Amino acid sequence: MPHASKSAAKRSQKTLERVFSKAGMGSRTEARSWIGAGRVRVNGCVVRNADHWVDLERDHVTLDGKPLRKAAHTYLLLYKPKGYLTTYRDPQGRPTVYDLLQDAGLWLVPVGRLDLDTSGLLLLTNDTAFAEHVMNPDHKVPKTYQVKTATRLTDEQIDQLRRGVPLSDGLTRPAVVTRVRDSATRTFLEVTLTEGRNRQVRRMIEALGSKVLKLVRTALGPIRIGDLPIGKWRHLTAGEVRAFGGSRSPSSVRC
């Protein structure tokens, strides 16, 4: 049992900056600025070292004299527009998804990413266990996209997507692919993947000799974007959170 006690104690310890991000109060960068400014106390003493270890079971942490309290778990669905980065700040000053979340009132982290030129469903949360569960490749959470290609794809090319496409980082898993419609020079597809490689849909289409002109993620696991307007967000329902699995209590979900 002594070994188990030591393991439990180690799990309860986190760096001071991580304590704030885990509580959903802000990013680690923000936490470092608060700590450096002397606004944070641990057991009544000012601590300016962001890497100071804190035992969450024993230590009392305050910010501007107010006790640190873990925020209620919050889960948002954002319809990310094209041209927005999935990051907090951009050195080049380009817009980020956080520009669209200023009225959310909490620090949230993206569950995965969408690249600059991709729009669609993006989940954000302060529940790190939930985010890790959804992003864990072992869980094979399906991701569904609407795709517009630069050329009209043949049946053989679409069958290749279904079987798996050889990329520089290996053969892709078989995808569920539906030809939605064709124009004279374009193909519109619905593609569902169970893995999340970088720029995967674009790379798969490029491997067929074509290009993606438009890419929209419409579903992640059991959650669909529905009729949510582009650039807007909503809270997930308790049922939607439960649908991802795990033991999260509906009472802890801010809907």
Q: Which residues are catalytic?
A: 115
Q: Please state, in angstroms and rounded to a whole number, the distance separating the CA atoms of residues 76 and 254.
A: 9
**Using H for helix, E for strand and C for coil, what is the string for 32-100?**
HHHHHCCCEEECCEECCCCCCEEECCCCCEEECCEECCCCCEEEEEEEECCCCECCCCCCCCCCEHHHH
Amino acid (one-letter) located at 241: V
Q: Please state, in angstroms and rounded to a whole number, the distance separating the CA atoms of residues 205 and 157.
A: 9
Amino acid (one-letter) located at 210: S
End-to-end Cα, the chain, rounded Å: 40
- Alpha-carbon radius of gyration of the chain: 22
Residues in Cβ contact with 142 at an 8 Å cutoff, skipping those fewer than 6 apart? 176, 192, 193, 194, 219, 220, 221
Residues in Cβ contact with 10 at an 8 Å cutoff, skipping those fewer than 6 apart? none
Other CB atoms within 10 Å distance of the CB of residue 172: 22
DSSP character for 131?
Answer: H
Nearest Cα to 129, choosing from 8, 15, 6, 11? 11
